């Protein structure tokens, strides 16, 4: 498994990690930086051409079931002697990718001030929950280029933090749901049921862009097949605020939300407003007890209230939560304004 990841520092937003160590004697090749908007136009042209000239075995996924990415076969349309593409073979069982992804209605996002189009082939939505863009997920995947060359993949379910992956993953995965359940097998393996299954077609700007790897040239579109099994809400700094909630401007870039301007983004800052009261302690605490033996139902959490932990014993579920407070009612939470200095942990 060699999925390349992006990590952060206070000096830059993302640094591409390579899975292969280069020889000290290898020459360093400088890749000219391209204009992102211009590159996106070129990427979109090649992506749409690929989708219009390749098809997949749609009938394989017509019947519900726990299908795998290994069952998906993407094939280029046949050509005549002059190199012209021929019609789709066996249309009762196959479908053009351009139809499967609804090529006229791409998904859209803005990243680094550039508008991007990307495509998703949904083979199964999944029966569980939709992960957030900053969550930890468990999945299987296979990455490959338009020429069919596979550059990365897993063979067993593997955990990833979406914040450490290329931006395309954070855009695509929230469109799918996790499995609705799983069964533990006698051999130690796990069978997941009704999980998210799909393919993402990404322009280079949502992939590795101008940072080539040993397998992926610079400015290359990439494709990933994946099976999404489970997810877990991340709280990267342990301050009680789920990381996805620390995206104050809603752009899915957690690195540019820094309330106290201390060069540590909120999702990594245990004191977001620098008032010397930990964010965790500027939230109120609540404990709920649910007796399932009496058919009691779990509480519906209020807006801005998040589950912190849960335990179960003898049919009794204990749920502990944290809740955002806006003491002065000005629309800004206490933990985001240094003028509010109430330490609610002292009341518990």
- Residue 313: per-residue pLDDT: 95
Q: Is residue 294 part of a domain?
A: no
**Is 247 within a domain?**
no
Contacts of 304 (CB under 8 A, 6+ apart): 323, 324, 333
Mean pLDDT, to the nearest integer, of 20-46? Answer: 76
Q: Is 259 domain-assigned?
A: no
Residue 14 CB: number of other CB atoms within 10 A?
19
* Percent of the chain with pLDDT strictly greater than 90: 87
Contact 137, 220 (CB under 8 A): no
pLDDT at 30 > cutoff 80: no
Predicted pLDDT of residue 188: 84
For residue 136, what are the contacts with CB-CB under 8 A and spacing of at least 6? 159, 160, 161, 162, 231, 232, 234
Task: Flag whether 117 is in a domain.
Answer: yes
CATH number of the structural domain spanning residue 100:
3.10.50.40
- Tell me, yes or no, whether 321 lies in a domain: no
Measured distance CA(323)–CA(284) in Å, rounded: 5
- 120-168 pLDDT, tens per residue? 999 999 999 999 999 999 999 999 999 999 999 999 999 999 999 999 9
Provide the residue range defining the domain that includes 180. 6-22+29-232
Higher pLDDT residue, 18 or 179?
179
- In angstroms, the CA 257 to CA 336 distance is 11
Residue from 242, 334, 218 nearest 284 by CA: 334
Average pLDDT rounded to a whole number, residues 289-307? 93
Q: What is the pLDDT of residues 185-196, one digit of tens each?
A: 988 889 999 999
pTM: 0.88
Residue 255 lies in a domain: no
Whether 207 shows a pLDDT value over 60: the answer reads yes
User: Dihedrals φ, ψ of 199, to 5°?
Assistant: -135, 135
Summarize the confidence of residues 322-338 as an average pLDDT. 95
Q: Is a pLDDT exceeding 90 seen at residue 118?
A: yes
- pLDDT of 2 > 60? The answer is no
Average pLDDT on 238-255 reads 94
Within a domain: 224: yes
- The mean of the pLDDT values for the chain is 91
pLDDT at 12 over 50: no
Number of domains in the chain: 1
Where does the pLDDT of residue 255 fall: very low under 50, low under 70, confident under 90, or very high at 90 and above?
Answer: very high
> Mean pLDDT throughout 42-48?
98
The average pLDDT across 162-186 equals: 96
pLDDT bucket at 29, cuts 50 / 70 / 90: low
The confidence score (pLDDT) of residue 28 equals: 52
pLDDT band (50, 70, 90) for residue 315 = very high
Rounded distance, CA 57 to CA 73, Å? 6
């Amino acid at each position: 498994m060699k999925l390349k990841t992006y990590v952060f520092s206070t000096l830059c937003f993302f640094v591409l990690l390579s899975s292969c160590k280069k020889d000290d004697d290898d020459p360093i090749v400088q890749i000219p930086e391209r204009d992102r908007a211009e590159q996106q136009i070129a990427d979109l042209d090649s992506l749409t051409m690929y989708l219009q000239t390749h098809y997949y075995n749609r009938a394989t996924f017509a019947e519900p079931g726990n299908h795998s990415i290994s069952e998906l076969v993407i094939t280029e349309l046949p050509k005549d002697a002059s190199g012209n593409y021929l019609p789709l073979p066996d249309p009762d069982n196959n479908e053009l990718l351009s139809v499967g992804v609804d090529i006229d209605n791409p998904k859209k996002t803005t990243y680094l001030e550039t508008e991007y189009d990307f495509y998703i082939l949904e083979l199964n939505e999944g029966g569980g929950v939709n992960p957030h863009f900053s969550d930890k997920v468990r999945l299987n995947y296979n990455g490959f280029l338009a020429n069919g060359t596979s550059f990365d993949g897993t063979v067993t379910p593997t955990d990833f933090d979406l914040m450490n992956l290329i931006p395309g993953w954070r855009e695509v995965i929230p469109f799918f749901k996790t499995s609705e359940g799983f069964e533990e097998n006698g051999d130690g393996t796990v069978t997941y049921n009704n999980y998210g299954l799909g393919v993402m077609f990404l322009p280079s700007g949502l992939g590795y862009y101008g940072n080539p790897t040993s397998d992926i040239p610079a400015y290359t579109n990439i494709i990933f097949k994946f099976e999404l099994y489970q997810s877990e809400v991340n709280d990267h700094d342990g301050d009680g605020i789920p990381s996805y909630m620390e995206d104050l401007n809603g752009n899915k870039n957690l690195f540019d939300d820094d309330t106290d301007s201390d060069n540590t983004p909120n999702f990594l800052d245990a004191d977001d407003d620098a008032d010397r009261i930990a964010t965790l302690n500027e939230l109120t605490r609540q404990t709920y007890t649910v007796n399932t033996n009496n058919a009691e139902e779990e509480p519906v959490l209020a807006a801005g209230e998040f589950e912190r932990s849960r335990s179960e014993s003898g049919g009794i579920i204990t749920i502990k939560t944290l809740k955002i407070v806006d003491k002065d009612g000005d629309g800004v939470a206490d933990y985001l304004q240094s003028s509010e200095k109430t330490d609610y942990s002292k009341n518990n």
